[in-house]
Amino acid sequence: MNTNTIRPQFPPNLSVEELIVNAVEKLHKTGKISKTPNSFFAYRMALQKELTARNYYPNMCDLSIIAGNLWIQEPQYIKAEYQRLVHDAKILFEEYCHHAFLPYSINQEQQQNLYYFY
């Protein structure tokens, strides 16, 4: 399969929830706040999703090389969309962290809405 002809869908087929699920899991397991992914990592996740949909499962090292080669070729408007998506994910994660450490400051319905993606 020629992976250089495959690109992630545009607009990205990723949700902000997908971008922060690992950070949320780490918060629950360790109590430590980790960083949300940057725009390249989001692009790599979208590429992995696209390749998986085509029944191609590269290892992470190969995936990173493929994604890196494609990323540098992408026009600025595509990179900007991933930057916007990552920015939105960071805001959602910060809200989640705030509520996770102040669980009694919100009602049960609001708390449930924060966990809908977990």
Q: Structural domain of residue 82, as residue ranges? A: 3-114
Write phi, then psi, for 10 (nearest 5 degrees): -130, 130
Tally of structural domains, the chain: 1
The tens digit of pLDDT for each residue in 44-73 reads: 999 999 999 999 999 999 999 999 999 999
Q: What global pTM score does this model have?
A: 0.76
The tens digit of pLDDT for each residue in 26-51 reads: 777 777 777 788 999 999 999 999 99
